[in-house]
Chains A and B, each alone.
Chain A
Amino acid sequence: MTNYLTRRLLIAIPSLLGISVILFTILALAPGDPFEELATNPAIPPDVRAHLRASLGLDDPIHERYWSWLTAMLRGEWGYSFVSRIPVDQLILQRLPTTIAVIGLAQIVALCIALPVGVYAATRPYSLFDQVANTLAFIGFSLPTFFTGLLMILLFSIYLDWLPFVFRTDIEATGLNWWWQMLRQTIMPIMVLGLFQGAAWTRYVRSAVLDVIRLDHVTTARAKGLPESRVTILHVVRNAMIPVVTLVALQMPAVFGGAIVTEQIFRIPGIGSLLVTSILSNDTPVIMAVTFVFAILVIFFNLVADILYGWLDPRISYR
């Protein structure tokens, strides 16, 4: 197992290098100039702008710029934002807790919906419950989060005026009241993301359980005289979890991506909105760092999926 982990982590190094080269090249080729604003500012003469570009190394050939980015990265220096002059790692660390809290809670909501509904529907295929759950899951899965997000804002914030629709980081409250305010402003994004994921996973859990429920070993378990609940949990759901857990782990990075849209709609100061604002202002160091963090997440969750898979399925062994 330790051998396997070491090997996987070593394999991750060339993949990350490859990803960083591609990202860096694409960003270098992308149109736009971080000092665009300065060009239209009459107070700043063009030669100052040129000097500024040269001092930041923006006029160097691309391979030299990549090399200096890489060596700085290896020293743990993520660079500074062109716009806010704040170190990039600080910017990311500031925003990471919010993103993780929103996404994490949304995933928990999604699992709390998908597991019971999917299993219950699969144990009674084509029943009324199954058909209703299937239809709702299909609807939930088909509606994009930017649409349901706006719909919820319209309903709960504008018509009913129950919830705030702009996320505030400066809540002037303490103790329980602070938590209450936090909950009020995060509940909509959490539900939007959670219901969307939950709908997708419900369908997946249902089909995974249906695949297992017909297998011979389930009849064996029943023939042993186990109560139906134990048969379902220990012999059906346990086995059906193998593909489900793998899928959930593999989808995690994609969920971070999907959260970008949700964060944007609800103005949540998370990683996603950081990425969007930095793209809009051509803030290359931030874009590079955030996309690179997403790349690391993809590789990390792939490894997590493989490890969970082996842990759940004794037929898999790591060598």
Chain B
Amino acid sequence: MTGQRLLEIQGLKVHFRTDDGWVRAVDGIDIGVDRGETVCIVGESGCGKTVTAKTVLKLIDMPPGKIAAGQVMFEGRDLVPLPSEAMQKIRSKEIGFVFQEPMTSLNPVYTVGHQIAEAVRQHEGLSRRAAMDRAAEMLRLVNIPNPERRVHDYPHQFSGGMRQRVMIGMALSCGPKLLIADEPTTALDVTIQAQILDLLAEMKQRLGMAVLLITHAMGVVAEVAQRVVVMYAGKVVEEAPVGALFATPRHPYTQGLIRSIPRIDRAAISHARLEAIPGTVPSLLNPPVGCRFAARCRHAMPECTAAEPPLREVAPGHKVACILYPEVRS
């Protein structure tokens, strides 16, 4: 963690206006990604992880969304105040984005080759021919058979997994330094999920870009992450290298997430029910004072609801926002 980080999100707050008031979807988070590193943001639905990812490229709808505070530093430059023309040069060229829904993320009326070529032409000013060649090259890179022929096919002629490969190829077509993948495997069935994760790992190895992967699946985290950020109700509650997180999860929420992973070895022996975290996520319209997880936490104490626990380093590289752990100076 020396020198300038590739991406450094600092104190980011993203709020959405609704009829009932402002929803604080992301409420003051710090996340950093180093060059060539894979960071996972994990958390349940509605914890603000997708909003965080989209905010990096300013892809949230504004209005109703609003970046209320904070910075998104990319290579030392804050993206938040950038005008839209400058932002367009970052998108795809510097930061590629893969969306959750491969079935709806491609435009049905253009061929996949055209859609990849569109990004290439926008950023590199290549001719139509050269851009199509690049599109075919990208399809080959993401292991789509017959790429020269498939560039002329429409999205509906591809399966879900194949479309996600196309999306990854598109996101990588301009050689970005960072790839943000927002739940890229959630909409796919399990065998395809594994293939897509393998593909992401392979691409990372070959192209050396950093990856910010958003997921709710701990299994995905274990497979691909180097560092993990656990989000809960718009806050970061724990951040740790992947090994440390699974070996010694500190935050009760993280512990709950790890216990709720179905394990075939345990299920076969004990016939126990899969453990779940009781309760639901608090409303982000009026988040509770103090620790937001307190209402669902098995270790909750009166102090938990008094003040919000800050994110503190409890072991080298391992930060947690919970009063159970004293700060350790590393």
Give Cα A227 to B99, complex, Å. 19
Pick the contact of B118: A215, A216, A226 (CB < 8 A).
A226
In this complex, the member of B109, B119, B122 whose beta carbon has the largest number of chain A beta carbons within 10 angstroms is B109
In this complex, the member of A223, A226, A313, A315 whose beta carbon has the largest number of chain B beta carbons within 10 angstroms is A223
Q: Which parts of A202-228 form the interface with B (CB within 8 Å)?
A: 215-217, 219-228
In this complex, the member of A220, A235, A312 whose beta carbon has the largest number of chain B beta carbons within 10 angstroms is A220
| B interface bracket (residues with beta carbon within 8 Å of A) | 20 to 34
Q: Are A220 and B99 in contact (CB under 8 A)?
A: yes
Q: Are A314 and B109 in contact (CB under 8 A)?
A: yes
Contacts of A223 in B (CB 8 A): 57, 59, 91-92, 96-97, 99, 171
Cβ of B186 < 8 Å from any Cβ of A? no
> Min CB distance, A98 to chain B, in Å?
38
Q: Are A315 and B88 in contact (CB under 8 A)?
A: no
Q: Are B107 and A239 in contact (CB under 8 A)?
A: yes
Cβ of A238 < 8 Å from any Cβ of B? yes
Give Cα A248 to B308, complex, Å. 59
Give Cα A226 to B96, complex, Å. 13
Cβ of B156 < 8 Å from any Cβ of A? yes
Q: Are A315 and B107 in contact (CB under 8 A)?
A: no
Q: Are B99 and A238 in contact (CB under 8 A)?
A: no
Q: Are A219 and B123 in contact (CB under 8 A)?
A: no
Give Cα A314 to B97, complex, Å. 26
Give Cα A58 to B317, complex, Å. 101
**Main secondary structure on A side of the interface with B:** helix
CB 8 Å contact bits of B100-124 with A (1 = contact, 0 = none): 0100111111010001001100110
Cβ of B158 < 8 Å from any Cβ of A? no
Pick the contact of B109: A219, A222, A225, A238 (CB < 8 A).
A238
> Min CB distance, A194 to chain B, in Å?
29
Given contacts A216-B99, A219-B99, contact A224 B119 (CB under 8 A): yes
Pick the contact of B59: A219, A227, A242 (CB < 8 A).
A219
Pick the contact of A222: B59, B104, B106 (CB < 8 A).
B59
CB 8 Å contact bits of B18-51 with A (1 = contact, 0 = none): 0000000000000000000000000000000000
Given contacts A223-B59, A223-B91, contact A217 B122 (CB under 8 A): no
Q: Are A224 and B154 in contact (CB under 8 A)?
A: no
> Min CB distance, A237 to chain B, in Å?
11
Q: Are A315 and B154 in contact (CB under 8 A)?
A: yes
Give Cα A177 to B19, complex, Å. 60
Give Cα A303 to B102, complex, Å. 34
Contacts of B92 in A (CB 8 A): 223-225
Q: Are B59 and A315 in contact (CB under 8 A)?
A: no
Give Cα A315 to B170, complex, Å. 21
Q: Are A220 and B105 in contact (CB under 8 A)?
A: yes
Cβ of B2 < 8 Å from any Cβ of A? no
Pick the contact of A226: B104, B111, B122, B167 (CB < 8 A).
B122
Given contacts A215-B104, A216-B101, A219-B99, contact A225 B59 (CB under 8 A): no
Give Cα A219 to B104, complex, Å. 10
CB 8 Å contact bits of B69-93 with A (1 = contact, 0 = none): 0000000000000001100111111
> Min CB distance, B160 to chain A, in Å?
13
CB 8 Å contact bits of A269-303 with B (1 = contact, 0 = none): 00000000000000000000000000000000000
> Min CB distance, B187 to chain A, in Å?
11
Q: Are A224 and B105 in contact (CB under 8 A)?
A: no
Given contacts A217-B107, A313-B108, contact A222 B91 (CB under 8 A): yes
> Min CB distance, B112 to chain A, in Å?
11
Give Cα A315 to B99, complex, Å. 22
Contacts of B174 in A (CB 8 A): 225
In the complex formed, the residue of A with least CB distance to B58 is: A222
Pick the contact of B88: A220, A227, A242 (CB < 8 A).
A227
> Min CB distance, A216 to chain B, in Å?
4
Contacts of B111 in A (CB 8 A): 314
Contacts of A215 in B (CB 8 A): 104
Give Cα A215 to B108, complex, Å. 11
Q: Are B90 and A225 in contact (CB under 8 A)?
A: yes
Give Cα A215 to B88, complex, Å. 19
Q: Which parts of B151-208 form the interface with A (CB within 8 Å)?
A: 154, 156, 167, 170-171, 174
Contacts of A219 in B (CB 8 A): 59, 99, 105
Contacts of B109 in A (CB 8 A): 238-239, 242, 312-314
> Min CB distance, B53 to chain A, in Å?
11
Give Cα A221 to B105, complex, Å. 9
Contacts of A228 in B (CB 8 A): 84
Given contacts A224-B91, A314-B111, 12 further A-B contacts (CB under 8 A): A216-B99, A216-B101, A216-B104, A220-B105, A220-B107, A220-B170, A221-B118, A222-B59, A223-B91, A225-B88, A312-B109, A315-B154
Top 10 A-B residue pairs of the complex, sorted by shortest distance between their CB atoms: A225-B91, A224-B119, A216-B104, A223-B97, A225-B92, A217-B107, A225-B88, A216-B105, A314-B154, A224-B92
Taking beta carbons and an 8 Å cutoff, which residues of A are in contact with B? 215-217, 219-228, 234-235, 238-239, 242, 312-315
Q: Jot down 9 A-B pairs with beta carbons below 8 A, ordered by A.
A: A217-B108, A220-B105, A223-B57, A224-B170, A225-B119, A235-B107, A313-B108, A313-B109, A314-B156
Taking beta carbons and an 8 Å cutoff, which residues of B are in contact with A? 57, 59, 84-85, 88-93, 96-97, 99, 101, 104-109, 111, 115, 118-119, 122-123, 154, 156, 167, 170-171, 174
